Chain A
Amino acid sequence: MAEHGNISSTSDSHLAIQTFALTRKFDSLIAVNGIDLGIKQGELFSLLGPNGAGKTTSINMLCCLLKPTEGTAQIMGYDIIKEPFKVKETIGVSPQETAISERLNSWENLALIGEIHGMNSDEVKRRSGELLEVMGLMERGKDRVGKFSGGMKRRLSIAMALVHDPSILFLDEPTLGLDPQARKAIWAYFAQLKGKKTILLTTHYLEEADALSDRIAIVDEGKIVALGTAEELKNSICDKQTIVISAANLTTEVVEELRNLYPWVEWRNEELEISAKELNFKEITDYLYSQGVTIYSAALKQPTLDDVFIQITGKEIRE
């Protein structure tokens, strides 16, 4: 398993978010079970897990919406239990529900959050203008948001988390329900923020976590079951390599010969799949050429986060 988060009980000044055995119980249900985590400043960190894994409960505790039943956490050095208002000054939150004021327009929604954070109206206007542009909402900026599509509401909700330029962003399923095009645009914007802001996002979308995150924590049943970069996580389950070759003129003799050389060889529909602890790509293709086989394509098969997830938790992410 990949490196684990900071599990010391003392605070580390390089860490933007640090949790200490963070726990939340609802009666007999343990939603979050003693999570120790350290997220560095400027890091984009994803919590990946199925519904009910404890992702939102964790975020709600870190945003001071929910008190932990045990343990605590620090946001930029401020304790979430003892100094909630200090914490709230440094964070921006996009909750899972779009949570916007339906009878206000986009400008007014953004101004509300900005002004609560003490920005003056000129700053709010400038910043709102930038964000509405980025989120593609400028044209409908003066329409009441109750009339917006789900995707537009979601984009406004993200803008509301950003309007006061917080140093830490909590994004709970930020691209849920967006069409692929809008999702890509939002990802591109998050990618721009990388390094400038600390971002903790929860997501169902494996490709989102894979494409964006500096590090990923896989959460299941209230616990972090794996943590590392996407590569580290994939490598952690990778006890074998697989090559997939699309070929013609392949004979039974050649396949049998390969079966003698490698522990796992599959051949069907002109596709050859070879797995072993270590594979030499060139050695295999050279051998096939020498036997008169025509190779259309050959590629090493990469494990996906889905494979990681299934291997670690024994279930599909979208369960």
Chain B
Amino acid sequence: MRFWEIGKRNLKELYRDPVGLGFLLGMPLAFILIFSFAFGGQATNPVSIGVVDEDQSQISAAFVSCLESIPAIEIATPIFESQFDAEKELDTGGLSIYLVIPQGFNKAVEHHQAIDLALVYNQADPMLPQRVMPIVREAALGFLNIPIPLNIELSQREAEIKDEYINYLIPGMAVFGLMILITSVSGIMVRDRTRGFLSRLMTTPARPSDFIFGYTLPFIPVIIISTAIYLGVGILMGLSIIGNLGLAFLVLFITGICCMGIGMIVGTLARSEDQASGAPWIFIIPLVMISGAWWPVEQMPSVIKGIAEAFPFLHAMDACRHVITRGAGFATILPDLYWLIGWTVSLFVIGIVLFRRSMAS
């Protein structure tokens, strides 16, 4: 259990450096908050609802006016005459939900018959009908002011959505945050080497595997905590997760392990603490940019896109986004996962080989 002793020591070194740890966890958090406030923050705004008035009567128009007077919702203009137009808006992301006032609405009101309304929503936003339904029901009951049965039929629609920016941003920022881990892993290794501490440990009977586990295991809780923070803060800032949260977590966790592998390589190759803390940024920032952390790669030249695709981070972000915003399952993201896991395993093998070689010399 020598690796455990080395690991325990490294865990203490890590957690007793509040500035370093604060940087590791705090920087991506600051980014998330700034970007979310700047580009997201839809949660407190009124919900925008489309209305399809198939009835085209005075009564239905009065009902729409009644809806328009409710502050918690905002009726999108124009009012659609047919569902076809509303569906198009939903599919292109102009709308997330619309209400259908069916033909015969005025007659049903006049004759005190049961009234059937319909709410159609984008399946990417499952929380929306729960917010909208009680508002519409309350408004309809108030408008009718008579005890007649009111049915609101809910239906979801799989739409080619244009994501809210926050849904796009959080997976990108989470991957970026985990990439900062590279400098932490390499930092502690290089610090120990340049100050002779690693040499001292190497005069003990600790084996190379003890060092490898001892220098990587303490970062596992960091990966778990930071992933939880990024997703948690994301949800607070309005990130809507329709897929399996656990699967998104897994993708980010593997990304963290992958970054640890890079950190090991940098930590073994870097000659000074400055190199270990500075050099990784030369590839972290460009890679984050071209991997689509902040804007979609589709808009980039194909050469750049090709370079980004060769690295694991674009795949990590894509897999995470598909799970979070499209509800993609394990099978859908498997090609991205293969790429990510392939990189992770290769980096670890290279890291271990380099570390062993540096020990032997």
Inter-chain contact total with CB atoms closer than 8 Å: 71
- A101: interface (CB < 8 Å): yes
Q: Which of B148-156, B199-207, B226-234 forms part of the interface with chain A?
A: B199-207
**Residues on A with beta carbons closer than 8 Å to the beta carbon of B361:** 66-67
Contacts of B17 in A (CB 8 A): 103
Given that A89-B205, A99-B200 are known contacts, is A104 also in contact with B2, CB under 8 Å in the complex?
no
Does A67 lie within 8 Å of B360, measured CB to CB?
Answer: yes
Interface bin, chain B: 20 to 34
Closest residue of chain A to B202 (Cβ to Cβ) is A65
A89-140 CB contacts (< 8 Å) to partner B: 89, 91, 93, 95-104, 108, 111-113, 115-118
When the two chains form their complex, are residues A116 and B203 in contact, meaning their CB atoms are under 8 A apart?
Answer: no
Of the listed stretches B5-13, B105-113, B253-261, chain A binds B5-13
CB <8 Å contact, B205 and A95 = no
Q: Which one, A67, A99, A104, A113, contacts B196 given CB within 8 A?
A: A99
Cα distance, A65 to B206, chains bound together (Å): 13
Is A155 positioned at the interface, with any CB of B under 8 Å from its CB?
A: no
Would you call A112 and B9 a contact (CB within 8 A)? yes
State whether the Cβ of B197 lies closer than 8 Å to any Cβ in chain A.
yes
Q: Contact at B195–A88, with CB atoms within 8 Å?
A: no
Partner of A116, one of B2, B197, B360: B2
**Chain A residues in 8 Å Cβ range of B204:** 88, 113, 116-117
Q: Is A160 an interface residue (CB 8 A)?
A: yes
With A and B bound together, what is the CA distance between A102 and B191 in angstroms?
Answer: 11
Chain A interface size band reads: 20 to 34
- Does A230 have its Cβ within 8 Å of any Cβ on chain B? no
Contacts A65-B199, A95-B196; A101 near B205 (Cβ below 8 A): no
Which residues from A are CB-within-8-Å of B210?
116
Contact A104 B9 (CB under 8 A): yes
* B5 with A115: CB separation less than 8 A: yes
B205:A99 contact, CB within 8 angstroms: no
Known: A67-B360, A97-B196. A108 touches B9 (CB 8 A): yes
Is the CB of A194 closer than 8 A to any CB of chain B? no
Given the contacts A113-B204, A116-B201, A101 and B196 also touching, CB distance less than 8 Å: no
In the complex, the answer to whether B205 meets A104 with C-beta atoms within 8 Å is: no
Binding site for A on B (CB under 8 A): 2, 5-6, 8-9, 12-13, 16-17, 195-197, 199-207, 210, 360-361
Q: A residues touching B (Cβ–Cβ < 8 Å)?
A: 60, 63-67, 85, 88-89, 91, 93, 95-104, 108, 111-113, 115-118, 144, 160, 170
20 A-B pairs in the complex with CB atoms less than 8 angstroms apart: A64-B202, A64-B203, A67-B360, A67-B361, A85-B205, A88-B205, A91-B203, A95-B196, A98-B196, A99-B200, A102-B13, A104-B12, A111-B5, A116-B6, A116-B201, A116-B205, A116-B210, A117-B204, A117-B205, A144-B16
